């Protein structure tokens, strides 16, 4: 009688182990799951532009901006504030909402947060204070040395800019292999919604105490916008840009972001929307998330923001191979992207979701949980 009992025990253990294996995201399965991080409500009709960083104890922290009920609710110039949530299950669920940064009196809003955990364990949070009228801004920097329990505000990266400087939906701060902090941005002289934009970076070599500005990238029409950057295996930098020119453009830097090449077409078709560029963990390859829509010069944003697609490059962005569509509802809008890789190599791709497209009365912050095998 002992042997059948032992076999039953072994079977139960195997079943439990397999379930745990799948739960942790190690299963040989390309299925992508979608979760809601922050739903739209009557009082908070829009949440988006998120970033994720790891905390101690296996926790993840997401930061995002949340628009509030009132005049211009849900529109770019409406009132919004910066919030965070916590996940203890690799992004499957999110809880413990907390307001991190409030709008300053007299300002339009505070928007476009980004979060970075440096190699020495500090957490950097950035947030853009958009001043009234949309023609000036201040980029605030906060640092935490106690796992996000408290944040200390540092000297702004820029203050009361002449013309609107911003990051938009691809807000990001990154740490290079040499310890340099890098912040992509774009802007111009005039109003946020009408100005001609150039793109570049601010960088700091002293942990955010002071910042310098890179060379700038110019393109035609509305210009170069919403840069996303990845550091390649040879330590050079690759940048992708939102444009009105038929799809994402790319630029390169060989001096850690101080100077940039002229931007050229990536070869990937799309309208005017942001991208998210990342180097795959433990790999020489890079992945790009973008809206692979049909370019339409008559459209107000030169194409729809659907589908949300992914492509990989094995040659540092010279050529691309499309992997597929992450989201493909043709009546919806997916944009304002950010991607975080968990310790096991799975991806958490955050995005704003609106249906119907261009609806600013109900925008949800969602995430696609993408298993690492998807990128093979």
Band of the pLDDT at 295, cuts 50, 70, 90? very high
Cβ distance 292 to 268 under 8 Å? yes
CATH of 34-375, one of 2.120.10.10, 3.30.70.360, 3.30.1330.10, 2.40.10.340: 2.120.10.10
Q: Are strands 137-144 and 152-153 parallel, antiparallel or unpaired?
A: antiparallel
Is residue 197 pLDDT above 50, yes or no?
Answer: yes
pLDDT digits (tens, 9 = 90+) for 206-235: 999 999 999 999 999 999 999 999 999 999
Cα separation, 218 vs 268, whole angstroms: 19
Query: Residue 316 carries which DSSP code?
Result: T
Q: Which carries the bigger pLDDT value, residue 151 or residue 13?
A: 151
What is the share, in percent, of the chain residues with pLDDT greater than 90? 87
Cα separation, 165 vs 297, whole angstroms: 26
This prediction's pTM:
0.92
Query: Residue 30 carries which DSSP code?
Result: -
Q: What is the pLDDT of residue 28?
A: 55
Of 107, 99, 148, which is closest to residue 125 (Cα–Cα)?
Answer: 148
Is residue 24 pLDDT above 60, yes or no?
Answer: no
Cβ distance 211 to 204 under 8 Å? yes
């Amino acid at each position: 009688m002992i042997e059948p009992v032992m076999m039953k025990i072994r079977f139960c253990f195997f079943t439990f182990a397999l379930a745990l294996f799948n739960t942790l995201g190690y299963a040989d399965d390309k299925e992508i799951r979608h979760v809601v991080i922050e739903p739209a409500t009557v009082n908070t009709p829009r949440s988006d532009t998120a970033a994720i960083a790891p905390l101690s104890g296996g926790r993840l922290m997401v930061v995002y901006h949340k628009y509030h009920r009132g005049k211009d609710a849900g529109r770019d110039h409406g009132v919004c504030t910066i919030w965070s949530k916590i996940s203890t299950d690799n992004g499957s669920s999110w809880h413990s909402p907390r307001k991190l940064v409030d709008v300053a009196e007299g300002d339009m809003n505070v928007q476009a947060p980004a979060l970075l955990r440096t190699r020495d364990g500090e957490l950097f949070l950035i947030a853009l204070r958009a001043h009234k009228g949309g023609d000036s801004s201040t980029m605030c920097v906060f640092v935490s040395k106690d796992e996000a329990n408290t944040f200390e505000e540092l000297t702004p990266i820029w203050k009361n800019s002449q013309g609107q400087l911003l990051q938009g939906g691809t807000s990001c701060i990154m740490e290079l292999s040499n310890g340099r902090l890098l912040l992509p941005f774009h802007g111009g002289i005039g109003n946020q919604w009408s100005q001609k934009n150039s793109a570049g970076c601010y960088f700091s070599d002293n942990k955010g105490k002071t910042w310098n500005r890179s060379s700038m990238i110019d393109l035609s029409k509305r210009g170069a916008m919403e840069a996303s950057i990845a550091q390649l295996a040879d330590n050079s930098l690759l940048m992708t840009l939102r444009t009105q020119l038929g799809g994402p453009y790319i630029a390169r830097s060989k001096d850690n972001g101080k100077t940039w090449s002229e931007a050229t077409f990536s070869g990937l078709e799309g309208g005017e929307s942001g991208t998210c560029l990342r180097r795959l963990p433990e790999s020489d390859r890079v992945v790009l998330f973008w809206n692979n829509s049909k370019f339409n010069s008559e459209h107000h944003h030169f194409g729809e923001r659907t589908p949300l697609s992914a492509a990989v490059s094995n040659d540092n962005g010279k050529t691309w191979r499309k992997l597929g569509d992450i989201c493909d509802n043709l009546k919806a809008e997916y944009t304002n992207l950010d991607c975080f890789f968990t310790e096991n190599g799975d991806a958490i791709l955050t995005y704003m979701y609106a249906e119907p497209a261009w609806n600013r009365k109900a925008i949800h912050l969602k995430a696609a949980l993408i298993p690492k095998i998807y990128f093979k």
